[in-house]
Amino acid sequence: MPTDIVVLAAGKGTRMNSNIAKVLHPLAGRPLIHHVIGTAKRLQPRHIAVVIGHQGSEVRASLADDDSGLLWVEQREQLGTGHAVKLAKEQLPNDGVMLVLYGDVPLISQQTIAQCEHAANNGSLGVIVAEFSNPAELGRIVRDDTGAVREIVEFKDATPEQRQIREINSGIVAAPTQYLAQWLSRLQSNNAQQEYYLTDIIAMAVQDGIDVVPINAVSEAEVTGVNDRIQLAQLERYAQTQRVEELMLAGASFADPTRVDIRGEIRVGRDCFIDANVLLSGAVELEDGVSIGPGCVISDSRIGAGTTVLPNTIVDGADVGPSCSLGPFARVRPGSVLGTGVKIGNFVETKKTRLGDNAKASHLAYLGDAEIGRDVNVGAGTVTCNYDGVNKHRTHIGDGAFIGTNSTLVAPINIAAKAFVAAGSALTKDVEQEQLAVGRSRQRNIDGWSAPSASPEGNT
């Protein structure tokens, strides 16, 4: 049968003490609700209905880039989980099964909810449960003498004896939609919270002779909801541990697995090494034998095989070839493309720059909007002056050229192959192949200077 998923994301999250909606707080670099929606989509449901309330427009905006297949349901009054699901049901077909997830339970796995979905497809009510060492104020699973689930009791409505139960309700359920629609219509708010509890459908299922199938979560973390920043921090550490273990199984070693943050989709080859206090974010690919030193930040980049990234280096939006050396304290910015064996040394910054094989800038240089050929040596203190105050311009340096220390290359400019720029030169004219350029002169102060005006093309 087709599956329709409901994601509840209307709550304010008062205990977060935040101006940000609870489901928008980040876990492993992504908002909580993004984790849930991503897992839900992997089940390939017919519809995903997201119930929003507090800061609903912000929640919806956060998913604007991944809005396909989402139905938006507004819960103007916070009258409980049962009320929220009932509102969503009004926009969903009556056939198939319905699965209810929570926007603040981010680590639920596809495998666990698939079991719940399977129970519903067999005509039962699936409910995901877990044994908690400290159940706190979570709803308790009440079973009969045979071990069958009879009802779920919310903590505030539980007796002292029921509060001793350690088996808790995750809130995640799945059932044939036709059954769920009937149970939702029978919900009442005569409880301590005066809300419509979705959990009351368990007792209704038992009363109607429908099997209630408990699905055991793999761990507490999988079904832990985020109610405050302490719980968020605990889940962050659990999520990081999971990601690091996945990368270790894929072939990476870590100096200290507890001192790495992973905030994206990371792929590693064999025999990679990642030192302490490294941050990997976005889409990052580390090919075989890559070594990342301590304190590095790698974002949305590919690092070629055998490349070494030395301590405290930032690589962002770059394509780095094999056998390169970056850093320490280098910054490789978006649009940088490095060939084989390139060296970017300490305090060198690149942006929108392509460096050919074996080119090197060993220290203290800025290379922006440049095309640099093979075997080029860029001396310390070199700057490609790409900005005239209004527009950006490119610098071209041919194969085998030598750029002396403290050179200033005012773009647009072309330094041909095997040209030599003398140290301390400030160049504004092209240099032909195998020429020596010496750009040194006494200071001249020119009267009547006017700054450049904006061009129609604007700044890029």
Whole-angstrom CA distances from 458 to 218, 247, 368, 398, 453 are 56, 44, 18, 28, 10
Query: Which one-letter amino acid corresponds to residue 126?
Result: G
Please, what is the average pLDDT of the chain?
93
396 is annotated as an active-site residue: no
Cα-atom radius of gyration of the chain, to the nearest Å? Answer: 30
Comparison of pLDDT for 66 and 26, the residue scoring more: 26
Model confidence pLDDT, tens digit, residues 254-303: 999 999 999 999 999 999 999 999 999 999 999 999 999 999 999 999 99
Is residue 445 predicted with pLDDT exceeding 90? Answer: no
Q: Token pair of 439, please?
A: 């750009």
300 within some domain: yes
Confidence of residue 315 (pLDDT cuts 50, 70, 90): very high
322 within some domain: yes
**25, 363, 393, 396: which one is catalytic?**
363
Handedness of CA 422, 425, 431, 437 (dihedral sign): negative
Residue in this structure with the two tokens 């609870």, named with its chain if needed:
22
The confidence score (pLDDT) of residue 443 equals: 55
449 within some domain: no
246 within some domain: no
Comparison of pLDDT for 284 and 65, the residue scoring more: 284
Provide the domain limits for residue 113: 3-223
452 within some domain: no
Give 442's contacts (C-beta < 8 A, 6+ positions apart). Answer: none
For 48-74, what is the mean pLDDT? 91
Domain co-membership, 182 together with 291:
no
Measured CA to CA, the distance from residue 377 to residue 222 in angstroms comes to: 53
- CATH number of the CATH domain containing 403: 2.160.10.10
Measured CA to CA, the distance from residue 351 to residue 365 in angstroms comes to: 11
Which residue stretches of 76-130 are H helix? 81-89, 110-121
Confidence of residue 444 (pLDDT cuts 50, 70, 90): low
Confidence of residue 216 (pLDDT cuts 50, 70, 90): very high
Q: Token pair of 267, please?
A: 């792929």
Confidence of residue 134 (pLDDT cuts 50, 70, 90): confident
Q: At what angle do helices 110-121 and 32-42 cross, to 10 degrees?
A: 50
Give 410's contacts (C-beta < 8 A, 6+ positions apart). Answer: 385, 426, 427, 428
In sequence order, the β-bridge partners of residue 397 are 372, 415
234 within some domain: no
Is residue 458 predicted with pLDDT exceeding 60? Answer: no
CA dihedral of 121, 126, 130, 131, whole degrees rounded to 10? -120
Domain co-membership, 154 together with 258:
no
Model confidence pLDDT, tens digit, residues 375-394: 999 999 999 999 989 999 99
Domain co-membership, 330 together with 407:
yes
User: DSSP assignment, residue 203?
Assistant: H
Domain co-membership, 268 together with 379:
yes
Is residue 137 predicted with pLDDT exceeding 80? Answer: yes
Is residue 457 predicted with pLDDT exceeding 60? Answer: no
In sequence order, the β-bridge partners of residue 387 are 392
In sequence order, the β-bridge partners of residue 26 are 31
Domain co-membership, 212 together with 256:
no
**212 and 206 Cβ atoms separated by less than 8 Å:** yes
Which residue stretches of 13-158 are H helix? 32-42, 56-62, 81-89, 110-121
Domain co-membership, 162 together with 258:
no
| Residues constituting the chain | 460
Domain co-membership, 208 together with 339:
no
In sequence order, the β-bridge partners of residue 312 are none
Q: Token pair of 308, please?
A: 């070494």
- CATH number of the CATH domain containing 47: 3.90.550.10
242 within some domain: no
* DSSP helix, strand, coil percent of the chain (3-state; round to 5): 20, 35, 45
Of the candidates 206, 223, 240, which is a domain's last residue? 223
The confidence score (pLDDT) of residue 128 equals: 96
The confidence score (pLDDT) of residue 459 equals: 54
The confidence score (pLDDT) of residue 344 equals: 98
Residue in this structure with the two tokens 């040209």, named with its chain if needed:
419
Which residue stretches of 129-288 are H helix? 177-186, 201-207, 229-250
Domain co-membership, 207 together with 350:
no
Measured CA to CA, the distance from residue 225 to residue 13 in angstroms comes to: 11
Query: Which one-letter amino acid corresponds to residue 110?
Result: Q
The confidence score (pLDDT) of residue 426 equals: 94
**292 and 276 Cβ atoms separated by less than 8 Å:** no
Helix, coil or strand: residue 291:
strand
- Phi first, then psi, for residue 346 (nearest 5°) are -70, 135
The confidence score (pLDDT) of residue 192 equals: 78
Whole-angstrom CA distances from 369 to 244, 291, 353, 366 are 36, 27, 5, 10
Least confident of 67-76, 335-344, 411-420: 67-76
Domain co-membership, 154 together with 295:
no
What is the DSSP track for 112-148? Answer: HHHHHHHHHHTTSEEEEEEE-SS-TTSPEEEE-TTS-
Domain co-membership, 167 together with 276:
no
Domain co-membership, 403 together with 302:
yes
Comparison of pLDDT for 458 and 12, the residue scoring more: 12
457 within some domain: no
In sequence order, the β-bridge partners of residue 354 are 337, 371
Domain co-membership, 31 together with 87:
yes
Model confidence pLDDT, tens digit, residues 148-188: 998 888 888 899 999 999 998 899 999 999 999 999 999 99
Number of domains in the chain: 2
* Whether residue 214 has a cis bond before it, omega within 30° of 0: no
Is residue 456 predicted with pLDDT exceeding 60? Answer: no
